[in-house]
């Protein structure tokens, strides 16, 4: 049995709490948001983020960080929205042991610094053993114990396998990988492609358009990832194409839902207000474009999404820009035998 403290009490935090409690682990949840703590204590449910999923009485819930850490947890799971990863990590500084395992499950790139979230955590909690879990894992389905797969990235095989064993169950299959860069990049950028996929839906386009965005989207992400030192295999894996498929196809995806509204004529602000949740793809879109420029990588879908979100380019014009780009080879690395 592992002692696990989950920081955050939104949808994914609760999905993970249900999963780990079912696996027989000792689970504590903490949230900085007092209404969440009250609601979870009283109703055992976050009626806003994950209605209908009730957590067991065994799971401890607190708004006091010291209390959530007092049993010396084996694993701390950081499950807050990506924009709160730094502020939440800062709170841990000086409160955890050297080598503390901190598992990031948020998806994003920090605005401004362009840092991956695991690097942000490591900067704020030096000496910790930071790892990442990602993949096609909608909390709505994990909370209902539907078969799901994911990948755990860590600096050491020992830590990756430990997390794998703690999370693995008959309905949650975990794989391990040393490619943290690839896993984190895919997790952040799939939200940008999901915005584009939603926009296509909002315009009334069909499955062909969606397949085009998914396939050419992973190509762009792969190009950037390779330049940043990721391994090509990751893009064909669960955190890569797997998560991209689910995010572009599912109504559970808030990024896709925001995209649909934008495709229907809403502005980004109006869409975010309507979805009423953090739309991380909008932040990641800017970061992705900055990374593309930094590494001199062509990322046409990411560029058009940025123009739509931040330069008021009509979505239809962006579609035309993409469709009428110069004709090129699908895989420039494949050439005819002379």
The reply, when asked if residue 256 is annotated as ligand binding, is no
Per-residue H/E/C for the chain: CCEEEEECCCHHHHHHHHHHHHCCCEEEEECCCHHHHHHHHHHCCCCCCCCCCCCCCCCEEECCHHHHHCCCCCEEEECCCHHHHHHHHHHHCCCCCCCCEEEECCCCECCCCCCEHHHHHHHHCCCCEEEEEECCCCHHHHCCCCCEEEEEECCCHHHHHHHHHHHCECCEEEEEECCHHHHHHHHHHHHHHHHHHHHHHHCCCCHHHHHHHHHHHHHHHHHHHHHCCCCHHHHCCHHHHHHHHHHHHCCCCHHHHHHHHHHCCCCHHHHHHHHCCCCHHHHHHHHHHHHHHHHCCCCHHHHHHHHHHHHCCCHHHHHHHHHCCCCCCCCCCCCCCC
Q: Which of the following is catalytic: 38, 190, 210, 219?
A: 190
Q: Which is nearer to ligand NAD, 33 or 203 (CB)?
A: 33
Q: How far apart are CA 202 and CA 276, in angstroms?
A: 18
Q: Which is nearer to ligand NAD, 138 or 286 (CB)?
A: 138
**Measured from the CB of residue 159, what is the shortest distance to ligand NAD in angstroms?**
19
Q: How far apart are CA 154 and CA 133, in angstroms?
A: 9
The reply, when asked if residue 223 is annotated as ligand binding, is no
The reply, when asked if residue 190 is annotated as ligand binding, is yes
**Measured from the CB of residue 266, what is the shortest distance to ligand NAD in angstroms?**
20
Q: Which is nearer to ligand NAD, 14 or 181 (CB)?
A: 14
| Structure-derived torsion over alpha carbons of residues 221, 159, 247, 254, reported in degrees to the nearest 10 | -110
The reply, when asked if residue 278 is annotated as ligand binding, is yes
Q: Which is nearer to ligand NAD, 16 or 218 (CB)?
A: 16
**Measured from the CB of residue 208, what is the shortest distance to ligand NAD in angstroms?**
27
The reply, when asked if residue 107 is annotated as ligand binding, is yes
Q: Which is nearer to ligand NAD, 80 or 260 (CB)?
A: 80
**Measured from the CB of residue 196, what is the shortest distance to ligand NAD in angstroms?**
17
Q: Are 176 and 158 spatial neighbours (Cβ–Cβ below 8 Å)?
A: no
Q: Which is nearer to ligand NAD, 12 or 235 (CB)?
A: 12
For residue 95, indicate whether it is catalytic. no
**Measured from the CB of residue 78, what is the shortest distance to ligand NAD in angstroms?**
9
**Measured from the CB of residue 5, what is the shortest distance to ligand NAD in angstroms?**
13
The reply, when asked if residue 84 is annotated as ligand binding, is yes
Interaction site with ligand NAD (CB under 6 A): 8-13, 31-33, 36, 49, 79-82, 84, 87-88, 105-108, 137-139, 277-278, 280
What is the total residue count of the chain? Answer: 338
The reply, when asked if residue 135 is annotated as ligand binding, is yes
- The annotation places the binding site for sn-glycerol 3-phosphate at 107, 135, 137, 190, 243, 253-255
Binding positions: 12, 84, 107, 135, 137, 139, 190, 243, 253-255, 278, 280
Would you name the residues annotated as active-site residues? 190
- Binding site for substrate, residues? 107, 254-255
Binding-site residues for NADPH = 12, 107, 139, 254, 278, 280
């Amino acid at each position: 049995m592992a002692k696990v403290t989950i920081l955050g009490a939104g949808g994914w935090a609760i999905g993970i709490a249900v999963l780990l409690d079912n696996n027989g682990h000792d689970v504590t949840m903490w949230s900085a948001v007092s209404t969440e703590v009250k609601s979870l204590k009283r109703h055992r449910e976050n009626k806003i983020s994950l209605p209908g999923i009730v957590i067991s009485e065994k799971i401890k819930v607190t708004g006091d960080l010291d209390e959530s850490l007092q049993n010396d947890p084996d694993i701390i799971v950081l499950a807050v929205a990506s924009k709160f990863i730094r502020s939440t990590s800062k709170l841990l500084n000086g409160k955890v042991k050297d080598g503390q395992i901190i598992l990031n499950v948020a998806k994003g790139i920090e605005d401004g610094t362009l840092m991956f979230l695991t690097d942000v955590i490591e900067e704020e909690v030096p000496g910790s053993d930071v790892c990442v879990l990602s993949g096609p894992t909608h909390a709505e389905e994990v909370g209902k114990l539907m078969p799901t797969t994911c990948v755990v990235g860590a600096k050491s095989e020992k830590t990756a396998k430990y997390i794998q064993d703690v999370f693995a169950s008959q309905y949650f299959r975990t794989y391990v990988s040393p490619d943290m860069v690839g896993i984190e990049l895919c997790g952040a950028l799939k939200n940008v492609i999901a915005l584009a996929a939603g926009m296509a839906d909002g315009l009334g386009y069909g499955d062909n358009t969606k397949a085009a965005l998914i396939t050419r989207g992973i190509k762009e992400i792969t190009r950037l990832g390779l330049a940043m030192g990721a391994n090509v295999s990751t893009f064909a894996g669960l955190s890569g194409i797997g998560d991209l498929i689910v995010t572009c196809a599912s109504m559970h995806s808030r990024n896709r839902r925001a995209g649909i509204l934008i495709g229907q004529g809403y502005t980004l602000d109006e869409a975010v207000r309507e979805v009423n949740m953090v739309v991380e793809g909008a932040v990641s879109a800017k970061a992705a474009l900055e990374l593309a420029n930094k590494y001199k990588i062509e990322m046409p879908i990411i560029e058009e999404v940025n123009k739509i979100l931040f330069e008021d380019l009509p979505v239809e014009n962006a579609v035309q820009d993409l469709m009428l780009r110069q004709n090129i080879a699908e895989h420039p690395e494949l050439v005819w035998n002379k």
